Copies of this chain bind each other. A is one copy, B any other.
Amino acid sequence: MMAVGNPKGTRDFNPTQLAKREYIQRCIESTYKKYGFLKIETPAFEHLDTLTGKYGNEGDKLLFKILNSGDFLSKVPPIDLIEKNSAQVIKQLSKKGLRYDLTVPFARFVVQHQNDIVFPFKRYQIQNVYRADRPQKGRYQEFLQCDADVIGTASLLPEIEFIKIYQSTFEALKLDDFQVFINHRKLLEAMALQVGLSENFTAFTVLLDKLDKVPLEKLQADFLKLGLKKQDISLIQSWMRPIPFNLEEIKKLNNTIHESNKLSEAIEELNFIASNVNSKNAHINLSLARGLDYYTGCIFEAKVPQSNIGSLSGGGRYDKLTDGFGLKNMSGAGISFGLDRIADVLEERNLWPKNLLETTQVLITQIDSSSLQDIFAIAAELRKKNIRTEVYPEAKKLKKQLEYANKQNIPFVITIGEEEKALGKFSLKDMISGRQEILSFEALINQIQKSI
């Protein structure tokens, strides 16, 4: 007998869990819609060419690769097989991979369909992504991302609207302690310049980003190894303090970061954005870098500090996302909510609305099969009125059938026993109050419709 189970790092969702996930999805999706985003979908797998080289070396290792169909070994050079050169052989064995995020497939979509798209193109996309990460608590191999992007404009309005979207989505989810952290790649460049690490820009931002989880003392040696001067450690320290996102504080950035073109450009953009958003729960975080190399302007992250779970969303401006697919000058910006982490926070805080699961509203029991015509007539009438109705499939003891209604939280049970049949009526039991009435067909339908 084989072991029965889903693969590690994946999950089954039962109706209750799924109803919760769909609630979050509705909150995000309805906000996206109100802002004029339109939904698209792309396939679960892409050509490996499309995916590789987009997520760094670590990312490439985490791509799920699909084995070619048929006699997949036939074309592999024997020498590679004999030497067991997995890295070399993989190019022959696999031409497709599962999507790793929604951003790269979106870039591919935009380039492929550019002649059918009206720009600026505002799209959202809610689909699973796949990463061959070592499974651990809160980290899955299949998880749901909810992305929105505006592509085809260098305007800063998308940035402004994404901050507004954060504010209204987290309020809708009742995550009132949400914080939106904002930074700008050009601020990071100005900072790197100031501490003489422009040559090691990527490594510098990777270290900065770690400050979120690792205390500075522990990273100090790494910074020094990179070339940071000892006296600049206190500067790094000062950059870690969150700065309220308002005009006055943005002006003061001049005090901590040396003047440079990059600095002025960043400040000008941040000023424009800050003057058009509510500064509520928004901060500049100079140590925020976001791993992904493709960001070129503003970057975002959203968190709920009272839950120690990392970021619930991230995003930013990219100028060259579609360059690799041959389409230049397509600036865009986007954000991505991680639904799984949001679900974990709502679970931890028990912030689910009541009655998310749309259970059956009426169970019709079966005393014997002779009443089936009446039973199906009631069921049809209730369903016509959009009332979720089940007929218990077997003429089991009534007690068993009521137990089923109880376990399934079904609020009403209809029974046609001997007595009811003689009267041409139906018994209706309210499973919460326990109250039972004998009613005519019309009265029964009315009564249920009124109570639901």
A residues apposed to B, CB below 8 Å: 1-7, 10-15, 18-19, 30, 33-36, 38-47, 49-50, 61-62, 64-67, 69-74, 76, 78, 81-82, 84-86, 89-90, 93-96, 98, 108-109, 111-113, 116, 118, 120, 122-123, 128, 130, 132, 142, 150, 153, 155, 157-158, 160-161, 164, 168, 272, 276, 325-326, 357-360, 369, 372-373, 376, 380, 383, 386-391, 393-394, 404, 407-408
Stoichiometry, copies per complex = 2
Beta-carbon contact of B65 and A41 below 8 Å: no
Beta-carbon contact of B394 and A155 below 8 Å: yes
Most buried by B among A34, A94, A123: A34
In the complex, chain B residues whose CB is within 8 Å of the CB of A65: 66-67
Beta-carbon contact of A112 and B4 below 8 Å: yes
Q: A357 to B41, alpha carbons, bound, how many Å?
A: 14
A134: nearest residue on chain B (CB-CB)? B69
Most buried by B among A40, A90, A393: A393
In the complex, chain B residues whose CB is within 8 Å of the CB of A142: 43-45
Most buried by B among A4, A66, A383: A4
Most buried by B among A14, A19, A113: A14
Sample of 18 A–B contacts (CB below 8 Å):
A4-B325, A5-B47, A6-B46, A7-B47, A12-B43, A12-B109, A18-B40, A38-B359, A44-B44, A44-B130, A67-B67, A71-B86, A72-B86, A73-B84, A157-B393, A160-B376, A164-B380, A168-B383
In the complex, chain B residues whose CB is within 8 Å of the CB of A14: 40, 113, 116
In the complex, chain B residues whose CB is within 8 Å of the CB of A85: 73
